[in-house]
Amino acid sequence: ASLELGPYSHFMQKEIHEQPRALTDSIEAVIDSNGFDVELFGDEAAGTFRDIDSILILAAGTSYYAGLTAKYWLESIAGLPTSVEIASEYRYRVSVPNPRQLIVTISQSGETLDTMEALKHAKSLGQTQTLSICNVQESAIPRASKLVFYTRAGAEIGVASTKAFTTQLVALFILTATLAKQRGVLSQAQEHEMLEALRQIPASVQHALNLEPQIREWAKAFANKQHALFLGRGIHYPIALEGALKLKEISYIHAEAYPAGELKHGPLALVDENMPVVVIAPNDALLEKVKSNMQEVRARGGQVYVFADLDSHFGESEGVHVIRTPRHVGLLSPILHSIPVQLLAYHTALLKGTDVDKPRNLAKSVTVE
Ligand code: G6P
């Protein structure tokens, strides 16, 4: 294993650091063709995409959070009503089928039983427009789908998903642009902007990886805690969810994520000096709102740990710790902000001495119910 690991201590750390490469590989076809070509999703994509009126995303775990993130892009850029549902819930629920809805399954392994069964359930209801976003070639879920888009993260060994997640996000971003273009709602300027965002993302992620020494310092404040709270708003709320999941999975610290505006409707009651609060606060339309949510935490003695990009103009103050992520990268900001929460979970787990790559009770791919 040491040979495979190279300079890294764990597969998870290696996979976190492989993200610039994994992203470059996953966007290669788009960059090469210099545009969002519908063929990227398979021969039948043009016909399929033309007929759809909405999207239903089905997935589990981290892949579900990729879906939650994509909803913001799909509705705001492609104008397509999008629902995101946990596969194990959808498959057992009476829902209203819509044959014009595109079913998008997201799965790193392509073998997750619940996601596979949710896909079969959708098909049994007459929902035949199906697309799989998957990292493993020729696995069960893509084989059962009409359209396929493969992420090119390479083999992911660590149970806690990292590079598969960020490559799923670029795949979903490419899907958004492709659908918007086909529907005639993507201006040339927007297409150019989205292509540029993709071109820049590997380098921006590399900058975020360089924050590792600072994050390692922060981990010391988390390793001896029982609970942590993650806050985000808008498209960064799913990244807060993913950050909390990563911390739970590998450090066994109880972590929850909330959309920051919900703080006052419950979780604020939990906040004291023993519950660190991680805030994802990029410079976007919701920044001022996030800042006032942070004040609510500070007023209760909570320690705030903020990931803020350079343009957010955050200063450190009593109880407010700030790590500056690179300049705001626009639409792909959720990808950039995934990196520091992955690193925080990793270094906290390292301090706690848990089995980072194989956390207790969890499996890489869950092929049973
Ligand atoms: C397991 C893994 C998670 C993963 C989830 C979904 O719970 O531990 O890391 O996100 O399955 O897996 P999939 O392969 O369908 O993306």
Is 335 within 8 Å of 170 (Cβ atoms)?
yes
- Exposed/middle/buried for 188, CB within 10 Å: 0-12, 13-18, 19+? exposed
Kindly state the average pLDDT of the residues 122-128.
97
Q: What is the mean pLDDT of residues 24-47?
A: 95
For ligand 1, say whether the CB of 159 is within 6 Å of any of its atoms. Answer: yes
Output the CA torsion 136→140→143→144 (10° steps).
-140
Determine whether the shortest distance from the Cβ of 365 to ligand 1 is under 6 A.
Answer: yes
Q: What is the pTM of this model?
A: 0.96
- How many CB atoms within 10 Å of residue 51? 10
C-alpha of residue 356 to centroid of ligand 1, in Å: 15
CA of 298 to the centre of ligand 1 (A): 35
Q: Is 61 close to ligand 1, i.e. is its CB under 6 Å away? A: yes
Q: What is the mean pLDDT of residues 9-24?
A: 97
Assess whether 364 carries a catalytic annotation.
Answer: yes
CA 210, 216, 218: angle at the middle one, nearest 5? Answer: 115
Name the pLDDT band for 318 (thresholds 50, 70, 90).
Answer: confident
Q: How high is the ipTM of this complex? A: 0.98
What is the distance between the alpha carbons of residues 19 and 47, in angstroms, rounded to a whole number? 33
Q: Tokens 């004291």 belong to which residue?
A: 272
Question: Has residue 1 got a pLDDT over 60?
Answer: no
Determine if ligand 1 sits within 6 Å of the CB of residue 62: yes
Closest atom of ligand 1 relative to the 63 alpha carbon: 16
Protein residue closest via CA to atom 2 of ligand 1? 364
pLDDT 10s digits, 148-171? 999 999 999 999 999 999 999 999
141 C-alpha to ligand 1 centroid (Å): 13
Average pLDDT over residues 294-303: 88
Atom of ligand 1 lying closest to residue 60 CA: 6
- Rounded Cα gap, residues 208 and 344, in angstroms: 12
Catalytic residue among 225, 291, 352, 364: 364
249 or 311, which is more confident: 249
The per-residue pLDDT for range 258-295, each reduced to its tens digit, is 999 899 899 899 999 999 999 998 887 888 888 888 88
- In this prediction, residue 316 carries a pLDDT of 85
CA of 357 to the centre of ligand 1 (A): 13
Residue with tokens 């850029």: 77
Regarding the beta carbon of 366 and ligand 1, being less than 6 Å apart is answered yes
